[in-house]
């Protein structure tokens, strides 16, 4: 583990959407204060407020960075590594269902890419399993942008916290080990809907009883079109993951 922040594992041109190594973001500056940073890797695991964070060791502002889709970082499967490392970090003691999440550009507190590895709120996975059985979860990436599913999380801004039903686009995949989830979101959802990548939040939650049953990939954004009684969308993962 190095104590020198800003040291890149890859060389990439500076970009206003990706960030500059000299930027003052506190999470980027403090990235060396981590739980795990194997020598030669392009990632580290840091402690979050609740749970952990997978943080690239390259300067990447967030989900809006084009190099995550088809550039210097496109081959780095951050999501698959987050699955593997969350399984390790949450195994002692076992936390139950663990999810992964990334916030939209306007809904995050740090401008350094980080994937939350956190416990899934009670009832969320069961609701997703039920929605899949009912046919409201897409079975392939082509259908992903056209299926809205209501998932009930928690609004912790209210006192006491209140149920927080929101609309998500949800697709079930058997595995994402061999492909780039950022690119999948861009090509399957952002491009056909003419939305902006920076508006998106994305969440990964294991389906069924374990990895053999695949994963749910949830996507939403603050201004996701909806008509009552369908609830509005959301730009952050805190509603369904215990991140804060």
> Could you report the per-residue pLDDT of 29-49, keeping only the tens digit for each?
766 567 888 888 999 999 888
Report the distance separating Cα 100 and Cα 105, nearest Å.
17
Per-residue confidence (pLDDT) for residue 20, from 0 to 100: 81
Distance, in Å, from the CA atom of 80 to the CA atom of 126, rounded to the nearest integer, reads 23
pLDDT over threshold 90, residue 15? no
What's the CA gap between 171 and 148, in Å, rounded?
10
* pLDDT one-digit tens code per residue, 54-92: 999 999 999 999 999 998 999 999 999 999 999 999 887
> What are the angstrom distances between the C-alpha of 15 and each of 9, 66, 74?
17, 9, 15
Q: Residue 1: what pLDDT? A: 37
Q: Per mean pLDDT, which range of 82-96, 138-152, 182-196, 206-220 is the poorest?
A: 82-96
For tokens 């973001």, what's the residue?
A: 25
Please report the pLDDT score of residue 9 as a whole number: 46
CB 42 within 8 A of CB 60: no
CA atoms of 155 and 222, how far apart (whole Å): 14
Look up residue 76 and give its two tokens.
Answer: 């780095």
User: Looking at residues 22-29, what average pLDDT do you find?
Assistant: 78
Per-residue confidence (pLDDT) for residue 21, from 0 to 100: 76
Tell me the β-bridge partners of 118: 99
Above pLDDT 90, what percent of the chain? 68
Residue 117: the pLDDT is 96
Looking at the predicted structure, is the pLDDT value of residue 147 above 50? Answer: yes
* Structure tokens given for 31: 């990235």
Binned at pLDDT 50, 70 and 90, residue 18 comes out as confident
pLDDT, tens digit, 9 for 90 and up, residues 154-175: 999 899 999 999 999 999 999 9
Q: Is the pLDDT of residue 12 over 70?
A: no
pTM score above 0.95: no
User: What pLDDT is attached to residue 91?
Assistant: 84
pLDDT bin (cut points 50, 70, 90) of residue 210 is: confident
Reported for 23-30, long-range contacts at CB under 8 A and 24+ positions apart, including other chains, are 23/59, 23/61, 23/111, 25/61, 25/110, 25/111, 25/112, 26/110, 27/53, 27/55, 27/110, 27/111, 27/112, 27/114, 28/59, 28/110, 28/111, 28/112, 29/5, 30/5
């Amino acid at each position: 583990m190095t104590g020198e922040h800003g040291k890149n594992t890859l060389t990439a041109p500076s970009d206003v959407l990706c960030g500059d190594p000299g930027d003052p973001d506190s999470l980027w500056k403090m990235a060396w204060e981590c739980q795990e940073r194997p020598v030669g890797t392009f990632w580290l695991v840091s402690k979050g407020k609740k749970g952990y964070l997978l943080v690239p060791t390259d300067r990447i502002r967030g989900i809006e960075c084009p190099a995550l889709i088809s550039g210097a970082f496109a081959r780095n499967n951050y999501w698959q590594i987050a699955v593997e490392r969350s399984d390790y970090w949450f195994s002692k003691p076992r936390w139950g269902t663990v999810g992964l999440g990334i916030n939209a550009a306007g809904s995050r507190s740090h401008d350094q890419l980080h994937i939350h590895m956190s416990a899934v709120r009670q009832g969320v996975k069961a609701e997703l399993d039920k929605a899949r059985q009912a046919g409201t979860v897409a079975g392939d990436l082509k259908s992903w942008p056209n299926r809205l599913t209501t998932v009930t999380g928690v609004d912790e801004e209210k006192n006491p916290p209140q149920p927080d039903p929101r609309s998500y686009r949800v697709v079930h995949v058997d595995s994402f080990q061999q492909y780039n989830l950022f690119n999948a979101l861009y090509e399957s959802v952002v491009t056909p809907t003419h939305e902006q990548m920076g508006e998106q939040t994305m969440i990964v939650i294991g389906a069924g009883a374990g990895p053999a049953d695949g994963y749910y990939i949830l996507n939403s954004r603050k201004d996701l079109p909806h008509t009552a009684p369908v609830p509005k969308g959301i730009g952050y993962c805190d509603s369904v993951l215990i991140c804060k």
